[in-house]
Structure 1
Amino acid sequence: MGASHILQLSYMLTEALFVGIIIVTLFSMRHKFGIALLYITLGTFQYLQAVLASFLYFEIFPGLFVSPGSAVLFNASLFAVLLIYIREDVAEARKLIYGLVFANITLTIFLLIIGSHIQGLPSEQVSHIPLQVFNFTPRILIAGTLTLTADVLLIIIIYELFSRHISNLFLRIYSAMAVVLIFDTLVFTTGSGIISQQDQYLTFLISAMIGKLLFGLFYSIMLIFYLKYFGKREYVSHGKDSEIKDIFTFLTYRQKYELLCKEIHKDHLTGLYNRGFLNESLPRELDKAKANGDKTALLMIDVDNFKSINDVFGHQEGDRILVFLATVITQSIREMDLACRYGGEEFSLILPRTHINSAVQLAERIRDKLALLSDSHKPALARKITLTIGVAVAPEQADNAEDLVCIADKRLYIGKKRGRNCIVSTG
């Protein structure tokens, strides 16, 4: 491996680092500016990915030629899908998946049209244009779009499958990426017909596979680093601190009134909404769901043995645990979900457009994330924290707010009688 190889590899790693930082920065700012900025940026990456993969390759190891389009930007798309799925939920990841697929279809069709347009121009007008950019055949169009669709769906399925058998988060993430990258390289290289001769096909296939797996490893390390050391610092405040201070904040008295209402309904220890907000919002959410034919789930969450924590370690440690749990909850929910401190060590979550299975999955995600962040939290918490969670869904289990709260609370106490540290969605 010569100096030129090291230089090319360093450049590509720098490119991957830059793209990764852009993705996690925009994702971290989603509560201020919305997640659309990230989606638009990823859409532009689709264009660059197609252009760079068409004609630009660098030799990062002797005989190993890799394109920044496929190794850096394609991996970045998978990186973003996993990040959003792990930190948000499958509904939010689905938006990204649809956006990436649509961007890929739109880009490729447009390039096909431009390619046909260029063929009718005099050669001197196109002499400086790399025609490889526009030489997409229908076969490449179909193979690329179908492969991209399968990739972004498959990585979530594989990640969930590996979650049942692989406890280490890094191995789970990289294993899922590796399977999808191998699948993508095999299917696209074979299906697109880019390489016709067998010896060239094998060389291209091996180079593409090694390059993608190498940068998949880089993005996996970056993702686990973000989740453990930076993602946990995010805090979703529904008060004025999360509002963008610009002219739109002051356009109407109605907006000021809504901000004031949020402050009134805030729990000042955790920053979440309080019980008064839950009592006002839950009937309204149920009415809205009934009108739209949707389901609404309610989670009642209780910190196990919290009284003994206060007795042994003091109320300051108890408060610190409540704030820590509130942060974990806000990192786990969607923007449409409403997190409240119900009272004492009890929390409640209103989950619009959520059926029972998704509600249970969210409850499991909160418990898993709590365990993950507790291990890396510095200074360490005084003791291990476990949760008991009761789950209820309207309208099939209750048709009004009072009954829904009673059912979820009843299931919470069933979980306590079973020994705590569990999720109860029946009974």
Structure 2
Amino acid sequence: MYLNNFLLILGEMAIYFGAMLALFRARHLIGIGAFFCALGATHFLEAYLSVAFYVRLPFGLALSPGSAVLFSGKLALLLLTYIREDAPMARQPLYGMLLGNFIIILLVALLAMDHVRLPLPRTLDVAFLGKFAALMVWGSLLLFLECLVMFALYERLSRRFHCGLWLSVSLTLLLGLTIDQIAYFTALHLTFGIPFSAGIGGWVGKLLAAVIYGGVITWYLTRVEALPAGRGRSLREVWNAMRLHRAPAAPKVAGRYDPMTGALHADQFAPVCAHLLSITALTGRPMSLLLMRVDGIEAMRVGPPPLGNGHLMRLIGEAIGEGLRTGDYVVRTNDHTFAVLTPGAAHQAGMQVASMLRARVEALGLARDGVSHTLCIGVATTPQDAQSVPDLVQIAEQRLSSARQAGANRVVGMFAG
């Protein structure tokens, strides 16, 4: 009997978490909305099973697949979303489920009014449905709190205490699931009379699920998608990233292009890069990002023609633009930095483009007061370096920094150029 129950739990874990991971991985093809919809669709079943379905365990204990499998898996998937996509993305299903459950409360309240109903063999128990909807609202509120604590704890464990990935993820899930079991089971016991043996068994099941799901997430972040660099946030910073607030208004620009250099404006970089990354995910073709900074610019803040600051950037921008391939994009990301996006260029091809652009600027012979104004360039390529805009930029910035530390007029990618 117990063996069949264990196999049931393991089978539900494999089906649920495997399917949800596949949807999460497919977000670059079909969008993350499909993953969030599937996450919300299982929310009702998860809550219903925690009220109505428990399997027996040894020592007189019991657990529900709704808690041990579905809820534990949902918490693990939200943590994965935070790690890969950051807090503004991870908060979206939390607010969606919370608001959806409040809507259910209002709809159930309307059903509780006097109506002339059609006699049916099985009638609706409005009182049960009302208590069940209130339980779902309570669970959604707890979920937000647990995610807030978990995200901050993960940052602390992985960045400050330098715990391994599996240990950081597993300990984070253990704490989140323990908080949930105490608060959520108390409501289950008081509202629906679920016995304490089920509470203890459910807690044990959640602890085991945390270890298993932690191992699967560790495998996913080491074998399927690379672990992004840490953000090192405190609890307050996580809260600021999770709470609702008005996004800052986009800067107003007179068109898409920088009038001085002819390159795209800085505010065009993120949407253009994201669009190109979505195309690379669909087609399987690579793309290289070339992040370049003008050497010697610190010694020349202002200056008159013929080689003032603005004149210098115009000459360099023209040289970069004339050296691009058809289909490449150049963006002036700030006063002294350009970014070039090269769709279809593998890393070696991106390095060749970077070396060619470096040589073109060097050939201009731009110098003032004994300081040559050349380019240092960092090259990063998707998919091997990163698969999101922030991660790709971060790798390119690291390699640009390495190029500048090595000296002026350098190109650095996976290897120095």
**TM-score, structure 1 normalization:** 0.56
Q: Which residue of 2 aligns with 1:330?
A: 386
**Aligned-partner Cα distance in 1 for 2:11–2:128:** 24
Of 239, 242, 259, the residue aligned with 2:281 is 242
What is the CA-CA distance between 1:51 and the residue it aligns to? 1.6
Deviation of residue 224 (structure 1)?
1.4
Deviation digits for residues 59-106 of structure 1, max 9, x if unmatched?
133422111111111112112111112222222222233234334444
Q: SS of 1:272's equivalent?
A: strand
Would the aligned equivalents of 1:32 and 1:243 in 2 still touch at CA under 8 Å?
A: yes
Distance in 1 between residues matched to 2:134 and 2:189, nearest whole Å: 8
By how many angstroms is 1:230 displaced?
Answer: 2.6
1:172 matched to 2:168? The reply is: yes
63-72 vs 102-111, which moves further: 102-111
Distance 2:57 2:75 in 1: 22
For 2:190, what is the secondary structure of its paired residue? coil
* Contact 1:78/1:152 (8 A) holds in 2: yes
Identity of aligned residues (%): 22
Q: Paired residue for 1:423? A: none
Work out whether 1:189 is the aligned partner of 2:238: no
Q: Is the 8 A contact 2:289 2:339 kept in 1?
A: no
Letter in 2 for 1:225: W
Residue 50 of structure 1 and its aligned partner are, at CA, apart by 1.6
Q: Following TM superposition, by how much is the alpha carbon of 1:241 offset from its aligned partner in structure 2, in angstroms?
A: 5.3
State which of 301, 317, 331 in structure 2 corresponds to 1:282.
Answer: 331
Q: How many angstroms apart in 2 are the aligned matches of 1:159 and 1:13?
A: 26
For residues 232-280 of structure 1, the C-alpha deviation after alignment (integer angstroms, 9 at most, x for no partner) is 59xx973755348xxxxxxxxxxxxxxxxxxxxx9x8x52355768995
Distance 2:108 2:65 in 1: 20
Residues 1:228 and 2:222 are matched in the alignment:
yes
- Match among 377, 388, 398 for residue 389 of structure 1: 398
Alignment-mate amino acid for residue 169 of structure 1? L
**Aligned-partner SS, 2:398:** strand
Asked if 1 retains the 8 angstrom alpha-carbon contact of 2:47 and 2:66, the reply is: yes
Give distance in 1, aligned partners of 2:185 and 2:38.
26
Q: CA deviation at 1:21?
A: 1.0
* One-letter identity of the residue aligned with 2:383: T
**Deviation string for 1:98-135 (max 9, x for gaps)?**
23433444455545655x379986885326x7889625
Q: CA separation in 2, counterparts of 1:171 and 1:272?
A: 34
Q: Which of residues 9, 12, 35 in structure 2 aligns to 1:15?
A: 12
Deviation at 1:227, TM superposition (A): 1.9
Contact 2:146-2:180 at 8 Å conserved across structures? yes
Cα distance, 1:223 vs structure 2: 1.3
Q: Pick the structure with greater CA Rg.
A: 2
Question: Which whole-Å deviations, capped at 9, do the CAs of 1:397-417 have from their partners, x for residues lacking one?
Answer: xxxxxxxxxxxx6x6667668
Counting matched residue pairs gives 289
Hey, what's the Cα distance between the residues in 1 that align with 2:9 and 2:145?
26
In 2, Cα distance between equivalents of 1:5 and 1:132: 34
1:5-404 equivalence runs, <5 A = 5-107=2-104, 110=107, 116=112, 125-126=121-122, 134-136=129-131, 140=135, 143-163=138-158, 164-191=160-187, 194=190, 202-232=196-226, 238=277, 240=279, 242-243=281-282, 270-273=286-289, 280=329, 282-283=331-332, 326-327=382-383, 329-331=385-387, 333-334=388-389, 339=392, 349=393, 363=394, 389=398
Is the 2:63–2:199 contact (alpha carbons within 8 Å) kept by the matching residues of 1?
A: no
Deviates more, 1:116-125 or 1:18-27: 116-125
- Please list the CA deviations of residues 181-206 of structure 1 after superposition, one character each: whole Å capped at 9, or x if unmatched: 11111122235652698xx7643431
Normalised to the residue count of structure 2, the TM-score between the two structures is 0.57
Change (3 A) 1:271 1:413: closer
- Cα pair 1:20 1:76 within 8 Å, conserved: yes
Change (3 A) 1:162 1:274: closer
- Structure 1 residues 59 and 149: CA distance shift in structure 2, 3 A: same
Q: Deviations over 1:123-179 (max 9, x none)?
A: 85326x788962516863553232122122222112112112142111110100000
Partner Cα separation in structure 1 for residue 102 and residue 178 of structure 2: 22
Question: RMSD of the alignment, in Å?
Answer: 4.3
1:47 is displaced (CA, Å) by 1.3
In structure 2, distance between residues paired with 1:67 and 1:118: 35
- In the other structure, the counterpart of 2:413 is none
Unaligned runs of 5+ in 2: 228-273, 292-320, 341-350, 352-377, 408-417
Q: Secondary structure at the match of 2:66?
A: helix
Could you tell me how far apart the structure 2 residues matched to 1:108 and 1:6 are? Answer: 39
Decide whether the 8 Å contact of 1:20 with 1:222 is kept in 2. no
